[in-house]
Structure 1
Amino acid sequence: MFLLTLITIILIVYIIEQNSIKNALKGIEYTQNTSLTLVEPNEEFDIVCILQNRTRRFVAFLRLKEKFSKEIELFLKNSEKFDNNILESSHYLMPRQKLERRFRASIPKRGRYFLYGATIFGGDFLGISETIGDYSCIEEVVAIPKESKLPDIEIKLSGYIGDISINRFIFEDPILTAGFNDYTGQEPQKMISWVQTARVGHLMVKKYDYTLELIVTVLLNIDYNGDNNEELVEECFSIGRSVCQFLESKNIKYRFITNATIAGTRPIWANSDYGWGKNYLMNILEGLGRAVYIVREPYEKMLDRALNFAELGVGHILITPKMEESYLAGKDKLKELTGYDVCMLTPNQGGE
């Protein structure tokens, strides 16, 4: 009788053990996401990890190994173990329980960073073995470049934009015609619109808006193989951010062109016309955050693209790691087509 009872108990334990091994991770779900997908360097955000039991059974033991880009800094409690970009923890789940864990985090420098998901180990009934499940996922966080610390960048940009506005005032451009007024005798004869005069039967003069459609093309070049290459290119990305923010603050439409490789996406602004506004700016800043040190095309090809878009009255701002003699020819070509000089900005020299 005792032997029969013992065999029955062993059989029951065996069945439970096999069932626990088979279903160790059945109904277990895991996701990762972030409260922000676009952040400033050192800006804090939340990483949200959700572990869920979809079944009606009690899950006694789960061990998690969650993986993040090593550059992501997590602010953890002393009891939590984070080593070699792996966060380890153990949990149990009640039936239908959803366990949400939040961690404060930050990223110290510009770039593209990832949350890779987790490996989950489910324990068996007897604690002898573990069932391993791969819960990989790819979630991105992009850190945009810091603003440039060049002390006189805004002064140089203000001077350049001011020069364009003055030239447009001195040399009237028919493109800037905003309407027509009656001729008073005080206006120069060249301002008379003969078409409008013929239409209304008396002398009419053109009314100019000297701030109408002031537009700029921003060129960001990283085709440079000299000393401190990465450091200088990083500063160029920061200058690019500061230039775009300056143009936004002045309500100036602009086009953004770069020969840097933008990882993970094809930016909307790559083929867009001149733009302006928060969404346009944030799209460019995201692109600068994703940019890597791989030159997508040489400077000469990027310049050719700019020349294709160049037209009379358009300003150009060139950001480059270092001034090269070969850039001067392109600068002269742009000036010839637009009527304006090119504002050149470098990390070491500021502007020229």
Structure 2
Amino acid sequence: MTILLFALALAALVLGLQSYTRKHALEGLEAEMIPEDLLAEPGEPACLHLTVRNQTGWTRPQISLKLHLDPVFEIQDADYVQKDLMGKGRTVRYVTWLKPHQEASYQVEIRISKRGRYLLEPLYLSSGDFLGITEISRRMSRVQELVVPPREQGLPALDAAMGGFLGELSVNRFLYQDPILTAGYRPYTSQDPMRSISWKQSARGLGLVSKKYDSTTEPRVVVLVHADAPTEEQMPAVERCYSMARTVCRVLEEKAIIYRLAVNSTFDVLIHGALVVGSQWNKPLETGQGYGPEHFRRVLEILGRAAGQPAQSCERFCAEYFAPGTQDSCIMITTEPEERVRPCLPLAAGRSLLVLRPEEKTGREGTE
């Protein structure tokens, strides 16, 4: 009789625990997935950080994290990867147990070969009941994204064209500023180079202050990108334009030349809405004037997000982003014929224009 009562009590306890754990399987569990960086270089490893935490006061015997990845993502760690039967990607699954107030972290290394904006599916957290009969899952993270900028375009003709164009700019005067050319001072921003800081003015207790130079002596460049592909077969030319734009901006960065980039395209923007507001996604995006690591990151993000379809006509784009009277030189990267583009880009005296087209000879002109 005692044994029977004990068995009934044990069964009641097990059923109670089973019922409780089924209702509270995910209570006190938190999980998240965060990309190491928004930007992922094409073909280079990019890390996704997965973390799960047990915020309760008791041990959780079985917890699993599941992340489904589309076929476009190449996964390096095969030990925790399950291939979908329908061939629609792979699922990364980690199973662990956690002590009270303990957490576990994992890294998923992926590669993406093509330029573009890619969505990451949300992370799912699962935990079983007391008897392990059922598994309860919950979506834990919001949709994340990765932006893959274009590869650089390495062409001798491009190098030669850029070399000739840069030779027309007053690079030496910009690199070694004459003190008499300082027109004033302004608050330092992250886009300013360290050598532009006026330490004498900064020492007066107003924070970091940058020198403001006379814009007539400071060479500046506007980089415009207008790439159009009426058919799918012409998309490679659009991709080459974006690659050329990256190379051009990288050269300007190396020469410490102030520049502004504007790309005539619609854009894929989801989460990092600092780039756009409201309906602005359907208009060209541009950087401010500047150079430096943060400025170049902005360039790479815009080039990676570009969808490849113009948001405006070439004429309107040029008129809006290189208006008459602009005191800057211009580099135009386009799929359009050169004779159509040049009339849209009026130059001020002493400024230069370089037109770059994919896999074709480049044209350069200057004004006296």
Classify the TM-score, shorter chain. 0.7 to 0.9
The structure-2 alpha-carbon separation of the partners of 1:345 and 1:266, relative to structure 1 and needing over 3 Å to count, comes to farther
* Residue aligning to 2:358: 347
**Structure (1 or 2) with the greater strand fraction:** 1
- Correspondence 1:223 to 2:238: no
Percent identity over paired residues: 28
RMSD, aligned α-carbons:
3.0
Q: How many correspondences in the alignment?
A: 310
Does residue 19 of the first structure (1) align with residue 20 of the second (2)? yes
2:320 is the counterpart of 1:305:
yes
Would the alpha carbon gap of residues 350 and 11 (structure 1) be closer, same or farther in structure 2, given more than 3 Å must change?
A: farther
**CA positional deviation for 1:27:** 0.9
The more displaced of 142-151 and 104-113 is 104-113
1:126-165 equivalences under 5 Å are 126-163=131-168
CA positional deviation for 1:25: 0.9
Q: In the TM superposition, what is the alpha-carbon distance from 1:48 to its structure 2 partner?
A: 1.4
Deviations along 1:184-222, one digit per CA (max 9) or x if unpaired, are xxxxxxxxxxxxxxxxxxxxxxxxx99921111111002
Task: Pick the aligned partner of 1:287 from 292, 297, 302.
Answer: 302
| C-alpha distance after superposition, 1:272-326 (max 9, x if no partner) | 65322222122111111122123222212111113426435x2111101242653
The change in CA–CA distance for 1:211 and 1:162 in structure 2 (over 3 A counts) is: farther
Q: 2-side partners of 1:227 and 1:8: how far apart?
A: 71
In structure 1, runs of 5+ residues without a counterpart are 169-176, 180-208
Question: In terms of Rg, which structure is larger?
Answer: 1
**Is the contact between residue 217 and residue 315 of structure 1 (CA under 8 Å) also seen in structure 2?**
yes
- TM-score after normalising by structure 2: 0.75
Gap change, CA 1:72 and 1:338, over 3 Å in 2: farther
Question: What is the SS of the residue equivalent to 2:122?
Answer: strand
After TM superposition, give the deviation of residue 120 of structure 1 in Å. 2.5
Partners of 1:218 and 1:316 within 8 A in 2 = yes
Residues 154 and 280 of structure 1: is their aligned pair in 2 closer, same or farther, counting only changes over 3 Å? same
**1:137-171: CA deviation from partner (whole Å, max 9, x where unpaired):** 233322221111222212101212324559x9xxx
CA distance in 2, matches of 1:229, 1:78: 40
| 8 Å Cα contact 1:267/1:283 also seen in 2 | no
- Residues 1:311 and 1:146: Cα distance change in structure 2 (over 3 Å): same
Structure 2 residues not aligned, in runs of 5+: 174-179, 183-213, 277-283, 364-368
Displaced runs of 4 or more, over 6 A: none
Question: Structure 1's 53 and 324: CA in aligned 2 closer, same or farther, altered over 3 A?
Answer: same
3-state SS in 1 of match to 2:162: helix
1:61/1:123 contact within 8 Å kept: yes
Deviations 1:211-250 (A, max 9, x none): 9211111110023415633211111111111111112222
The 10-residue stretch of structure 1 (73-82 or 19-28) with the greater mean CA deviation from structure 2: 73-82
Whether the 8 Å CA contact 2:268–2:307 is kept in 1: the answer is yes
Q: 1:145 to 1:81 in 2, by over 3 A?
A: same
State the shift of 1:87 in Å.
1.3
Closer/same/farther in 2, CA of residues 15 and 244 from structure 1, 3 Å limit: same
For the pair 1:243 / 2:248, whether they are aligned, the reply is yes
1:94 matched to 2:107: no
Q: Which residue does 2:332 correspond to in 1? A: 318
